[in-house]
Structure 1
């Protein structure tokens, strides 16, 4: 086995460069730099291997040519090249798609066709209520002495091609006095709907040969309507629906905790307010909080009595109150009503404080 090569290709038995042999004079360059015999000059020291003094030395780097880079390139694998190109193409495709979509939305934004109604908000609710109200009045008004009047009135709102005489046998007399529309329920297609209408009618009774007016009654109808390209029309005869009472919900908001001290302190002021509230705007403005405008009943009724008055707890500047008031009508007629009011604390120039009505309802 051949002995290991020494660094620099030095052969055994050859003198080490930089170390003079016995009887040999130092080189002139060593004398000029003050080199000490037996020591290496700093210019010729080499970095020691990090693997220890006895590790085999690595290959000696060749000197770089002018313009040569101090690193070497390695060939890239085919998979890395494919992955890099794929992701680069994916990013470019996404950017192009976003740009094309944005430009298309600028030039031609999405529009819902005029003939398609997709939701209740696009249905003409106000027009539907108006048509259903007039149609309900025409439908519930008839007179056997003038049988042609009803079909003419019904035909104002009924869709063309439908018979306006349907539903009445041509006998008797009734007059629909007034009607109030309510909820409009639109079907999923957005073309048809039903309108809830309450109608007050007066029925007539035959006494002998004379039609005599009877009592007034409220009737509730469900009126079908449809939306056409021109307008809303009644799409068929209405149907009667019950108008029953319903209890209050369990989660009704409460008035709050009563403030008995403030209730007692403001009771006389409340009487003065309702007395002025019944008479005129000038009188009521004198007892309301500064900056508030409350219109009076202008003599329609007279103040009878304050049956109940309650102020509730709150902040130091504004409170909520309720009042049960008895109004006097014509003759011996009285009517009890309950009001909700807002009280506001006011301070006079002399420092006196009082609570005045700032709003009714």
Structure 2
């Protein structure tokens, strides 16, 4: 029995050594572990890391470690790259205004208009005064009369801005529409702008007036003559109230929408014509031509009248028509 106990002790003694060796370096190659196990004596000295099973787990651990390192590296490289590409590919939005949109068109139009009021009016008796006025618009060193030979007279009846053609952020051509007696023409004025300052950059050019457009063939072909006769007296009463501008009376004609009047600035004469196209029974858009007398013409006793055309949106409730809206008409009319 004593021999048995000694044998048991001899077999169990290496166990602590094996446990210590495993805790010291679990990633140690199997060869070293095996040698350490054999030096401790005993058949099982290699421990759990000896043999092919232990070597396989070592390589699995190394693979997991390298995979973790690769993930960290890839994320570290990808993050700044994505931020960089996101900056380059900013979300599309409204287009930025071009250089021409940055040109101060309103200021240049007003500047060119003031210039033209001096440039297009001259008298040889007051040439020095004209040159002094032009100095505020012209570049340094420019001819004081800016092309005028100091002979004769010229006076414009009216000058208006017709448009501004901006070529870039600094240069534009302002087109003016001017009238002299019974003649109309356009004047192209080059303007230079920089940091809020303006100057006439070159001599203007006279251009022909806008051509007269030909109206398309139109008009209402399918007219509701019965409705036109029905609306004639109603609109006569309505436009008489419209001339006075009495809101209490006008509210009786309105479909709930407030209608402003002319506050006795004109005198109602008559409704000359009503044009109503065929359509829905309870809703129509009609055109009415109204004759007005403007104060001044009637006082002079000459009976002068102005015929003007209106477009009215009308609705019918029960047996009564009401005005929903009134505005100027865009329907072509040669009359």
Q: Structure 1 length normalisation: TM-score?
A: 0.58
Give 1:150 shift.
1.7
Corresponding residue for residue 186 of structure 1: 166
Corresponding residue pairs, total? 258
| In structure 1, C-alpha distance between the alignment counterparts of 2:70 and 2:222, rounded to whole Å | 72
- Distance, in Å, in 1 between the alignment partners of 2:118 and 2:218 is 41
Distance 1:249 1:310, change over 3 A: closer
Alignment of 1:285 with 2:250, yes or no, is yes
**How far 1:283 sits from its partner (Å)?**
7.8
Residues 1:146 and 2:130 are matched in the alignment: no
Which structure has the highest helix share of the two? 2
Q: Which residue of 2 aligns with 1:134?
A: 114
Structure possessing the higher radius of gyration over alpha carbons: 1
The question of whether the paired residues in 1 share the 8 Å contact of 2:275 and 2:288 is answered with: yes
| 1:242 aligned residue | 208
Q: TM-score, normalised by structure 2?
A: 0.62
1:148-297 equivalences in 2 (<5 Å): 148-187=128-167, 189-201=168-180, 215-248=181-214, 258-282=223-247, 285-286=250-251, 288-289=253-254, 290-296=256-262
Contact 2:293 2:305 in 1 (8 A): yes
Aligned residues: CA RMSD: 4.2
Q: Give 5+ residue unaligned stretches, structure 2.
A: 1-47, 61-68, 89-95, 329-335
State how far apart, in whole Å, the 1-side matches of 2:76 and 2:182 are. 77
Unaligned runs of 5+ in 1: 1-64, 77-84, 105-111, 202-214
| In 1, Cα distance between equivalents of 2:151 and 2:248 | 55
Residue aligning to 2:265: 299
- Following superposition, the deviation at residue 124 of structure 1 comes to 1.1
CA distance in 2, matches of 1:173, 1:124: 33
**Residue 326 of structure 1, CA deviation:** 3.0
Question: In structure 2, do the counterparts of structure 1 residues 103 and 192 end up closer, same or farther at CA, with 3 Å as the change threshold?
Answer: closer
Residue 148 of structure 1 aligns to a residue whose secondary structure is helix
**Distance apart, 1:194 and its partner CA:** 0.6
Deviation at 1:239, TM superposition (A): 0.9
State the partner residue of 1:11: none
Q: Is the 8 A contact 2:130 2:145 kept in 1?
A: yes
